[in-house]
């Protein structure tokens, strides 16, 4: 279903947050030396990060250390030093207990939690609500609808897709087997839409367990934070001790509001939620805003991801499907949420056009690598749509869903 299910060769790689104090001291000395040699990049770094910078500025080592700390996401060198020391001196005892359940929208932190000494159970819940139909249905019917979409979209056997989903949804009936249930989520729409569903279900079920949430959009020392899966075991432990909060009624009610709005065939309710802050889960607002941008734009009829995929081909010279995905994720996407199979599904939907937007050449790809190796390039129609000279809504003959909103193309 997503890149958490099967690692992709095109997965983003980002700094994992493991800071070494001696290394940071060395970086500060090198920065100071480069500044005094009048190297432009070093001067620019001081201009950007040092509050007392001016043209007569003559920095000392402490000033360079300040810049390094700010680049790493800390207010000062002292705070960065304290954070590094905290990570290095965490207790050896298990942070959680045997009766703890860790619930996450993928497998990406399972091993790191084990390496960090967590001993509770782990369960993924990874139904990708950011693609495919959502509807307010009884849960068994809802699961069957989602399984049909997943099997079709990601080219899976229908029985396998249904069995996997039923296994994941079954966790909702087992919550009271535990004393503590902790939800681990980040800020993108993939995570936040699943979180909204789970919060709605928790409000309905009212399980008699301790419910807690770790939901982050930034992590100290990780200025390019994308997701929990990039973090070291030590940082997951740090999040456990510093970012874990009890789930209260306000969280659950927000989840219900968001989930009901997501299932509506009209975007008005979701737009209203996205227009205001969403306490107590502030990342939810940005995720909803990004989700709504998957609706057809007035500029060219494309959703944002569709537009960025074409842009990667046109402006960045991406000439295989894998390179298009890499450019999209590493350079263009403002809030990365997409898995590799989800991207392949998106491209196949773009192929449902009366005039092709791009040419795909499976016969020239690597059979062992499959579709990521297929050459791909824009047609004149694709360029015209990308530049807003044609409207994709007039070319599209398929059907795609953004939550409860069905986008139907023209009759072929």
pLDDT tier, 1 (very low <50, low <70, confident <90, very high otherwise): very low
Q: Give the largest CA-CA distance in the chain.
A: 70
Six-digit token string for 388: 């807003």
Predicted local confidence at residue 91, as pLDDT: 76
- Compute the mean pLDDT over every residue in the chain, rounded to the nearest whole number: 93
Tell me the average pLDDT across 165-171.
98
Q: Give residue 339's region: left, alpha or beta (phi > 0; psi -120 to 50).
A: beta
Predicted local confidence at residue 122, as pLDDT: 98
Q: How far apart are CA 342 and CA 127, in angstroms?
A: 12
Tell me the average pLDDT across 258-287.
97
Give phi and psi for 83, each to the nearest 5.
Answer: -60, -45
Q: How far apart are CA 102 and CA 176, in angstroms?
A: 13
Predicted local confidence at residue 14, as pLDDT: 53
User: How do residues 372-393 score in pLDDT, each as one tens digit?
Assistant: 999 999 999 999 999 999 999 9
Q: How far apart are CA 193 and CA 401, in angstroms?
A: 14
Instruction: Give percent of the chain with pLDDT exceeding 70.
Output: 96
267-274 contacts, C-beta under 8 A, 24 or more apart = 267/292, 267/295, 267/405, 270/403
Q: Which residue has the higher pLDDT, 70 or 151?
A: 151
Predicted local confidence at residue 344, as pLDDT: 98
Predicted local confidence at residue 6, as pLDDT: 34
130: pLDDT strictly greater than 70: yes
| Nearest CA among 62, 91, 93, 90 for reference residue 78 | 62
| Nearest CA among 149, 141, 258, 239 for reference residue 200 | 258
Q: What is the DSSP string of 247-303?
A: --HHHHHHHHHHHHHHT-SSSHHHHHHHTS--TT-THHHHHHHHHHTTSPPTTTS--
Which residue stretches of 134-229 are H helix?
Answer: 139-153, 158-169, 189-205
Predicted local confidence at residue 87, as pLDDT: 83
Hey, what domains does the chain have and what are their CATH numbers?
Answer: 21-71 (no CATH), 100-258 (no CATH), 304-408 (1.10.10)
Tell me the average pLDDT across 39-52.
92
pLDDT tier, 2 (very low <50, low <70, confident <90, very high otherwise): very low
| Nearest CA among 322, 306, 327 for reference residue 371 | 322
Six-digit token string for 386: 């990308």
Cα torsion 192, 197, 203, 205 to 10°: value is -140
User: How do residues 323-381 score in pLDDT, each as one tens digit?
Assistant: 999 999 999 999 999 999 999 999 999 999 999 999 999 999 999 999 999 999 999 99
The contacts of residue 367 (CB under 8 Å, 6+ apart) are: none
Number of H helices, E strands in the chain: 16, 10
Q: How far apart are CA 75 and CA 77, in angstroms?
A: 7
User: How do residues 203-222 score in pLDDT, each as one tens digit?
Assistant: 999 999 999 999 999 998 89
8: pLDDT strictly greater than 70: no
Predicted local confidence at residue 90, as pLDDT: 80
Predicted local confidence at residue 12, as pLDDT: 38
């Amino acid at each position: 279903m997503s890149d958490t299910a099967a690692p992709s060769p095109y997965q983003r790689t980002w700094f994992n947050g493991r800071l070494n104090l001696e290394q940071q001291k060395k970086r500060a000395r090198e920065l100071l030396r480069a500044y005094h040699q009048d190297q432009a990049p070093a001067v620019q770094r001081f201009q950007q990060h040092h509050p007392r910078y001016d043209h007569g500025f003559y920095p000392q080592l402490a000033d360079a250390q300040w810049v390094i700390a700010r680049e790493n996401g800390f207010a000062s060198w002292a705070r960065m030093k304290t954070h590094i020391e905290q990570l290095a001196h965490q207790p050896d005892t298990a942070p959680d207990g045997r009766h703890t359940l860790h619930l996450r929208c993928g497998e990406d932190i399972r091993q790191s939690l084990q390496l960090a000494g967590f001993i509770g159970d782990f369960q993924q819940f990874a139904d990708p609500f950011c693609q495919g139909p959502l509807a307010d249905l009884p849960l068994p019917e809802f699961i069957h609808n989602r399984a049909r979409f997943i099997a079709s979209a990601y080219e899976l056997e229908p029985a396998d897709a249904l069995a996997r989903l039923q296994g994941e949804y079954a966790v909702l009936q087992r919550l009271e087997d535990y004393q503590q249930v902790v939800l681990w989520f980040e800020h993108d729409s993939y995570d936040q839409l699943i979180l909204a569903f789970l919060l709605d279900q928790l409000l309905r079920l009212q399980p008699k367990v301790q419910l807690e949430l770790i939901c982050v959009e930034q992590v100290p020392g990780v200025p390019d934070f994308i997701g929990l899966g990039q973090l070291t075991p030590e940082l997951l432990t740090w999040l456990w001790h510093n970012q874990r909060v009890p789930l209260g009624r306000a969280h659950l009610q927000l989840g219900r509001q968001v989930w009901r709005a997501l299932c509506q065939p009209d975007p008005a309710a979701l737009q209203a939620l996205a227009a205001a802050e969403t306490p107590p889960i502030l990342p939810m607002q940005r995720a909803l805003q990004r989700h709504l941008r998957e609706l057809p734009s007035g500029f060219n009829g494309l959703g944002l991801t569709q537009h960025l995929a074409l842009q990667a081909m046109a402006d960045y010279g991406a000439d295989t499907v894998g390179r298009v995905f890499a450019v999209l994720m590493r350079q263009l996407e403002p809030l990365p949420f997409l898995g590799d199979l989800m991207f392949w599904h998106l491209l196949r939907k773009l192929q449902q056009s009366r005039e092709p937007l791009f040419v795909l050449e499976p016969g020239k790809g690597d059979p062992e690598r499959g579709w990521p190796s297929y050459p791909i390039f824009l047609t004149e129609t694709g360029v015209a749509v990308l530049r807003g000279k044609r409207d994709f809504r007039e070319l599209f003959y398929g059907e795609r869903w953004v939550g409860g909103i069905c986008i139907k193309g023209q009759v072929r």
